Structure 1
Amino acid sequence: MIKNSLLTSCILLIIPCLVSIAQVPGFYMKEPAKKLEIPFIASNNLIIVPVSINDGPPVNFLIDTGVKTNILFSKSIGDQLELTYTRKLDLVGADGTTVLTANVSPSNHMDLGGIEGILQTLLVLDDDFFELEMVIGIPVFGVIGYEFFKYNPVKIDYDKELITFYEMGRLKWRPFGFRKVPMKIENSKPYIHAKVKQLSGDDVDSKLLIDLGANHGLLLNMETSEKIQLPPKYIESDLGRSLGGDLFGYVGRVKSLNYGGLKFNDIITSFPEETEFSYVIKESGRQGSIGSELLGRTRIILDYQRERFLFKKGNTFSNPFEFDMSGISPRMLPTNEKRFVVGSVRKGSAAEQVGILKDDEFLEINKIPVDFWELSDLIKLFRSEEGRNITVKLKRYHSNNPEDFEIIEISFNLIRQI
């Protein structure tokens, strides 16, 4: 989820196995090598890479361990690329109620530079979905899932913004400085076990999904265990935008998370509401997921073939976990001009107290015009320091008439609510 969050693991896919005939589908290095590095764009620790489909122009894709099959968010782009569709599938959205329709396009070629995806199936959404740009700040047109990881060890260095793609037989030994824990691949998704120490209540031995496509720190599904409790201090919040709807629930902290001797303290934790499709999570046996806000503080290696997860501290490991202190969920409008608006205002927050409203448009932040801001920088500012003074100049529309607005300037101090 992009939380302000993004994707809690994009969607729950209900699909049968897709079988190739000639070659084995997967991602491979184009030329023989021990390893190959490709840079990625990091936005709130989400991993974005340019991908060319069937020799078409490159478009941004999210690398996500939380989905099984590659997804293209735009049928318009799929049609421009003259993709072949064999049938339709219904997908259950992340909110558990929305049903999305997708077209199955088999046997596509996906080019990431020195790495190529052979005979790749794409699920192409019937309705174009470009709303992730509003919460990431970067256009994203699809997701690459399990296929990218299934044969080759993959190292992700968040500090250098580099993916290292290793030859299939490499990394038999644990690299210097890395620790490891067993990792189980179930239904094409990676899981590890960790101990969660709560602020109140029992410790929870948890099975957790490693979810690169969600930018929360830790997420715990309360319906999966009676031991999981809301902390003494929490807030209701929009947990983020994903395919198939918004996610709602609560945000608080847990005392610590420990796996393989690596201990994270005082972690911001999401507790989503139960939905009618929570049974899918219960059947998986997991209690929650680890997202990129936590993973981005480490360097990790995902080795699906040997079922092991390797990790070491990154440069930001010791940074405190902070949640938004403004109460504003900023959104970027999908226009040619850079435009940020207030997506929502949290109840009881600093922004609500001074009268900031949903759909107010930012013109300046701390006297700096919006053209000089990136969405990720704005999110960091709103998490930066309790008591920090923020001044915003806003355009407030009073009707659907674009000329019917007023310009207002408001100051407030950031308030830590959890």
Structure 2
Amino acid sequence: MKRFLIFIVFCFLFNNLGFSQGYFTIQNKHKSDKINFRLINNLIIIPLEINGVTLSFLLDTGVSKPIIFNFLNVSDTLKIKNTESIFLRGLGEGEVVEALKSTDNLIKIGDAVKLNQDLYAIFDANLNLTPKLGFPVHGIIGNDIFKDFIVEINYSKKYLRLTEPQAYRYKKCNKCETFNLEFYNDKPYINVEVTIDNKDIPVKLLIDSGGSDVLWLFENDSSGIKCGNKYFEDFLGHGLSGSIYGKRSKIGKLSLKSFVLEDANVAYPDSLSIQFARKHKDRNGSLAGNVLKRFNMVFNYQKGTVTLKKNRYFKEKFSYNKSGIELSHDGVRLVREFKNRTATGYDIEKSDDGTNGTKIIINPEYKLTLKPAYAIVELRANSPAQKAGLHIGDLVLSVNGRPSYQFTLQELMHEFFEDAGKRIRLKVDRNGKELNFSFNLENPF
């Protein structure tokens, strides 16, 4: 099944912040625990408890400290204390972002508990993941989990297993590949190989489970990492310091030792957006969720290794959005739903006069229900949707005759990743006026 990508990028740079004195421990006799997660747009969403309040967090190998999105004043509910203001910088062309640093927080993930956890609350509403995923996400956590445990990620069955290192027992796996990890600012890097224009190029990539894309490469003529003539300009995602744009293309192969992914999607972010990411001079890009989900993985930060085993997603084809539309959850709207209504809008009852006939009764009874609303938030230049006349801000009311509220955000976006040539009919609300548009999906190349 094709999966759409919602391009969200959080590569935070925390310099000279240090670690808290606490560490995670598992509060059971097995010193191991299994945590089920949701896989949304190639992203892992886990349940996490902070100071007694249960929240949903993105598991992101690309962050060194936990982040809370505080635009809804979550910190008031969490009773966050001992705070100080700091400024953070990440991907994007914008300015630094103010955050509130808090110490001495209690975190629980299943049976794993940590005291004295540092947290960073960010107040910028633009970093809200919930509308982009259509599912509540309150924050991001990464290194604090991985550094204390052996972490198994089973993408195919959607669970994590956290095990204290002294209790972990490796199982022999003839179909696995193990890689050495390198660390920079507490983030893991892996050495793999890409094939561009029939040339095999070794690359060092950040393992970024917090990105839903496939592969990002930083252009560098001397190493042969460059986008060819076959590409299109696109919005790539939101970073801590603003929006990120760049070029999308394809590479011949992505090789992780014996595991080879052919005709893989690649993005080349523009140089201004990634100037801080390139402080690690040996870094060539990022390996994100649409590759990682194709493997079940075992991370061992203590030994500096990650082990990969192919899963049921491995052969899933890489695809691009062929409409040019990016949608986001945009609150709710009132929908009129008729009670006991047939597809024709009328009640149909059997006649009781012995004639075996039927009678039609118009039943105007209805109820008003709150349903999710979806808005166009990005529109690729010269895309089929833009040429058809759609605008950023249009609320999508129906797709091919089916009300949009009957879809999840993921299901709705999936329609735009279908085969080229498929006809898409959209009804939208533009400033209170209903408009109809249609276009065919097109290969962006």
TM-score (norm 2): 0.85
Contact (CA 8 Å) 2:4, 2:413: kept in 1 or not? no
Q: Residue by residue, what CA displacement relative to the aligned partner does 1:296-337 show, whole Å, maximum 9, x if unpaired?
A: 112111111111111111112111100100110111114574
1:388/1:117 CA distance change after superposition, 3 Å: farther
Match of 1:385 in 2: 419
Match of 1:148 in 2: 145
Match of residue 119 from structure 1: 116
Superposed, 1:173-212 pairs within 5 Å as 174-175=172-173, 177-198=175-196, 200=197, 202-212=199-209
What residue ranges of structure 2 are gaps of 5+ in the alignment?
333-369
Q: Aligned pair 1:213/2:196, yes or no?
A: no
Spell out the pairing of 1:1-400 with structure 2 (5 A cutoff): 4-20=5-21, 25-33=22-30, 35-56=32-53, 58-74=54-70, 76-128=73-125, 131-169=128-166, 170-172=168-170, 174-175=172-173, 177-198=175-196, 200=197, 202-223=199-220, 226-275=223-272, 278-335=275-332, 337-397=371-431
2:316 and 2:198 map into 1 onto residues whose CA distance is: 26
Structure 1 residue 158 displacement after superposition:
1.4
Deviation at 1:98, TM superposition (A): 2.1
| 1:316–1:177 CA distance, 2 compared to 1 (3 A) | same
The letter for the 2-side match of 1:389 is R
Report the 3-state secondary structure (helix = DSSP H, G, I; strand = E; otherwise coil) of the residue aligned with 2:162: strand
Distance 2:90 2:182 in 1: 25
CA contact (8 A) 1:231 1:253 kept: no
Q: Give, in whole Å, the separation in 2 of the partners of 1:52 and 1:37.
A: 15
Once the two structures are aligned, what percentage of the paired residues are identical?
Answer: 27
Comparing 142-151 and 181-190, the one that deviates more: 181-190
Point out the more displaced range, 178-187 or 101-110.
178-187
Alpha carbons of structure 1 residues 153 and 221: separation in structure 2 relative to 1, 3 Å: same
Indicate how the Cα distance of structure 1 residues 186 and 415 shifts in structure 2: closer, same or farther if over 3 A, else same.
Answer: same
The equivalent of 1:400 in structure 2 is none
Q: Residue deviations 1:393-413, cap 9 Å, x none? A: 11112xxxxxxx321122221
TM-score by length of 1: 0.91
Between structure 1 and structure 2, the one with the greater Rg is 2
Moved more, 313-322 or 171-180: 171-180
* Matched residue type, 2:442: I
Distance 1:127-1:325 versus aligned 2 partners, 3 A rule = closer
Shift of 1:87: 2.1
Cα distance in 2 between the residues matched to 1:104 and 1:19: 12
Q: 2: CA distance between counterparts of 1:364 and 1:412?
A: 14
Task: State the shift of 1:284 in Å.
Answer: 4.6
Change (3 A) 1:151 1:81: closer
* Change beyond 3 A, Cα 1:105–1:325: same
Q: CA deviation at 1:122?
A: 0.3
CA contact (8 A) 2:194 2:254 kept: yes
- CA shift for structure 1 position 46: 0.3
SS of residue matched to 1:382: helix
In proportion to residue count, which structure has more strand?
Answer: 2
**Secondary structure at 2:135 match in 1:** coil
Task: Report the more deviating stretch, 77-86 or 341-350.
Answer: 77-86
Query: Contact 1:231 / 1:254 at 8 angstroms: preserved in 2?
Result: no
Q: CA deviation at 1:174?
A: 4.5
State the alpha-carbon separation in 2 of the partners of residues 129 and 233 from structure 1.
32
Residue type of the partner of 1:348?
N
In the aligned structure 2, how far is the partner of 1:88 from the partner of 1:218? 34
In the TM superposition, residue 85 of structure 1 has moved relative to its aligned partner by 3.0
Structure 1 unmatched ranges of 5 or more: 398-404
Given that 1:201 and 1:229 are in contact with CA atoms closer than 8 Å, whether structure 2 keeps it comes out as: no
Amino acid corresponding to residue 9 of structure 1 in structure 2: F
Residues in 2 aligned to 1:67 and 1:18: alpha-carbon distance in whole angstroms = 13
- Mark the CA change 1:302 to 1:225 in structure 2 (over 3 Å): closer, same or farther: farther
Instruction: Give the Cα–Cα distance (whole angstroms) in 2 for the partners of residues 250 and 19 of structure 1.
Output: 40
Question: Secondary structure of 1:278's partner?
Answer: coil
Q: Which whole-Å deviations, capped at 9, do the CAs of 1:238-276 have from their partners, x for residues lacking one?
A: 001233321111111111111121111111111100127
Summarize the Cα distance change of 1:147–1:371 in structure 2 as closer, same or farther, 3 Å threshold. Answer: same
Q: Distance in 2 between matches of 1:356 and 1:35?
A: 51
Match of 1:402 in 2: none
Q: What is the count of residue pairs matched by the alignment?
A: 404
Root-mean-square deviation over aligned CA pairs: 2.1
Distance 1:128 1:80 in 2: 18
Q: Is the 8 A contact 1:185 1:304 kept in 2?
A: no
